[in-house]
Every structure is written in C-alpha cells, then in structure tokens.
Chain A
Amino acid sequence: MTRRQRRTAAVVVLVAGVAAATALAVTAFRKNMMYFYTPSDLAARDVPVSAVMDLGGLVEPGTLKHGTGLAIRFMMTDCHHQMPVAYDGVLPDLFREGQGVVATGHLNADGTFVASRILAKHDSSYMPPNVARQVKAAELQGRKDCAAFKTLGDKAMTAARDAP
C-alpha cells in the first residue's frame, strides 16, 4: 500500500468507527432522547402519580373548555389514546384546537395530567388566510395528523397502542 492508500484507509476506518459508535449510542438511548411522551406511552405503563414529565399530542378538536380565569381543560390525543389535561396559565400564540402541544406536568390521582407549562408545536404547513379558508373550515378543524407524535417502539407498548 502506498502512503496515500494507508491514510485513506485510516481516515475511512476512523469515520466509520465514530459513525458506528454514534449510531449504537443513539439507538441505545433513543427513549432518553425523546423530548416528550405521548398518551399511548402513558397508557402502556404504570406511571407514578406526581412524576414530572413532558407529554405531547394534539388538542382534540371540540374538547377545549375554559374555566374561570385562564384555566382550561382539554383532551390530548395521539390518534390512539387520549389523556385529559388541565392547565391554568398563559398559552402560546399557536395554541388552538387541532394543534400539537407539549405539556410539562404530572398525573394526578384521578388520571388527569396537570400541566404547569404548555408549549405549542408548529405543524410545518404555511399558507395565506384566504387559502386556509378555501380548504374547508371543517377539514382544517377536524384534521388530525399524529405523525409528529411517536410512541416508543417497545413491543409491549406497540401491543398496548394497537389494542382497541
């Protein structure tokens, strides 16, 4: 081998090694790198009451109810399971029914997720208001795209999620 071929081999082995190590680490820690859990994740396991976590999903259209002051209640869905969420505080501009949201909080004893902070997730579609009006209002209101809310791929959880 010439010196150049040796250098090429060394560089390729180095990059392949680092890439493989990163791929293994990323795969092993996949569930630790999730920014939030979904209602299906919670349905599939026993979650201790008052454990603080992030929960993400869509605000189920038609379930948003306003209480006194800033208090709200709504159902959060990932298209498989639903979870009631209660919140009392300032909402981001993008918050609305049908929108993806990420709530920080904990489960209380009666199975309601009590949020201390709610962030809105953008759905990555952009259009002018008149186009949005042409797309049937009902369709916009009722549309549910849960692709952005991934449930952890454990076998037990997949089974639990697919159960009716």
Chain B
Amino acid sequence: MWLWFHRLASPPSFYRFAGILAPWLLAIGLTAIAAGFYGGLVLAPADYQQGDAFRIIYVHVPAAWLSLLGYSAMAVAAFVALVWRIKLAEAVVVASAPAGASFTALALATGMLWGKPMWGAYWVWDARLTSELVLLFLYLGVVALNSAFSDPRAGARACALLALVGAVNVPIVHYSVVWWNSLHQGATVFKPGGPSISPGMLWPLLTAAFGFTMFYAAVVLRRMQNELLIRERNSLWVRELVPVVAA
C-alpha cells in the first residue's frame, strides 16, 4: 500500500496515472452535469415562491460547494507540501487555485443574478457574501503569488503558506449564516431535521454537485500534468515523453 503510494507520488508515475484517470472523471462529470441540468431545468417543478428563478441553484450551489471543497483540498495539499516537501502536493496547490477561483467567481456571479430579482439587490455586505469574496481573493492571491516567483519550488512553498493560512476562512464562509445575521439564507440540504427541499428538486441538485466535483477533479488533474511537465522539463522522463522540448 505505502509502496504503491510512494510510487504514485513520483512525477512520471503520477503523470501516467492522471492521464488515464482524467478522461474518465471528465466523462462521468459531464454526464452527471447533463443529467443534473436536465433534471433541474426540465423535470423539476417550479418553486412555490420563486417560480422558475430557483433553477439557478443547479449552478450556484454546486459552484459554491466546490469553491469550499477545492480550497479545503488545496489547504491539505499545502500542509503536505510544506511538511514533506512533496513535488506532487506543490503541483496540487498551484493547479487548484485557478480552477477554484473560477468556481468561486461563478458562485458569486450566479448569486448576484438571482439576488437582484429575489432579494432586491445584486450585492450586500453581509457575512456570507463578504467571506465568499474573501475566498475569491485568497484564490487569486495564490495565483498571483505563484506567478511572482521565478523559482517554481520557492513559489509553490509561498503559495502553500498563503493557502494554509487562508484556510481559516473556509469555516467562516460555511458558518457565516449561522453565526451572524445575514441576508443570505441558511443551509437547505445539510441541516438539522433533514433537507427542506422536495425530492424532485433535490436529486438533480445532488447529481449536478457530483458532476461538478468530478469535472473539477479532471480539470485539476490536467492542470497538474501540465505543471509537472513544466517543472520537470529538464528531467529524462519529460524528454522521452516530449522530444520536441529537448530539441
């Protein structure tokens, strides 16, 4: 088990492993997203209060959920990268940030589009919206910090430090609606007493969330592959894989 783990952590093995895994995750993810969107946008009934406008949750909720899951994964990888100095973990940190930033921006944008007709405002500075915006800035900070270093390993360590310190924001985003008065509503799916959403609306949401997660994993794996190719461009395995670079 550990032997397998150690072998996988070497860049060339992981490159091959990710190359096999990513297309499957992408296919499963896109299928689940298509099923979730069909269920959510076509099959699910309109909401009793919001009518068809509630259907934006099939993009908003999976994106917001991934913005937190992606950051949590990035923070764990950052810890591993700082303590064990594993190249693969550094690649996870650097590869996660742009993908996570995209999903965070998507969650914010869809939330604003929904907020205008339903709440009456695109944006308010309540705890949930503000902490989610801070999350976006943390992601963008990791992206910017990485590109500010010419030495990729030093850059990755700085990014890992920022990602790890920023992890304190993750529980703040999640619990903001519990700890403070906010305009944003509280949890619907994971709350005491069970989900307050009818089953016909819930299954497309969970399917879409699963699909978004698989899609995200596929994107991060592909980005990690590219990251490994660039970082290891002088090593033998990359030269054998991409002869053009060597030439």
Taking Cβ atoms with an 8 Å cutoff, the residues of A that contact B are: 4, 7-8, 11, 14-15, 18-19, 22, 26, 30, 33-38, 56, 90-95, 102, 117-132, 147-150
Q: Are B119 and A92 in contact (CB under 8 A)?
A: yes
Contact A128 B198, CB 8 Å, known A121-B119, A149-B181: yes
B residues less than 8 Å from A19 (CB atoms): 168
Q: Are B181 and A14 in contact (CB under 8 A)?
A: no
Chain B interface: which size bin? Answer: 35 or more
Question: Which A-chain residue is minimally distant from B128 (CB atoms)?
Answer: A35
Q: Are A35 and B181 in contact (CB under 8 A)?
A: yes
Question: Which of B120, B124, B127: most chain A CB closer than 10 A?
Answer: B120
Question: Which B-chain residue is minimally distant from A19 (CB atoms)?
Answer: B168
Q: Cβ of B234 < 8 Å from any Cβ of A?
A: no
Interchain Cβ contacts under 8 Å between A and B, 18 examples:
A4-B84, A33-B180, A35-B124, A35-B181, A38-B181, A92-B118, A94-B118, A102-B183, A125-B197, A126-B196, A126-B197, A126-B201, A127-B197, A128-B47, A128-B48, A129-B46, A129-B48, A150-B180
A residues less than 8 Å from B91 (CB atoms): none
C-alpha spacing A18/B182, complex, angstroms: 25
Given contacts A22-B168, A121-B185, 9 further A-B contacts (CB under 8 A): A8-B83, A15-B165, A19-B168, A30-B180, A35-B180, A36-B181, A128-B47, A132-B48, A148-B186
Question: Which B-chain residue is minimally distant from A27 (CB atoms)?
Answer: B179
Q: Cβ of B242 < 8 Å from any Cβ of A?
A: no
Q: Nearest Cβ distance between residue A52 and chain B, in whole angstroms? A: 15
Q: Mark B113-154, 1 if CB is under 8 A from A, else 0.
A: 000011111001111000000000000000000000000000
Q: Are B183 and A35 in contact (CB under 8 A)?
A: yes
- Among the listed stretches B17-25, B49-57, B93-101, B209-217, which one makes contact with chain A, having 4 or more residues with CB under 8 Å of it? B49-57
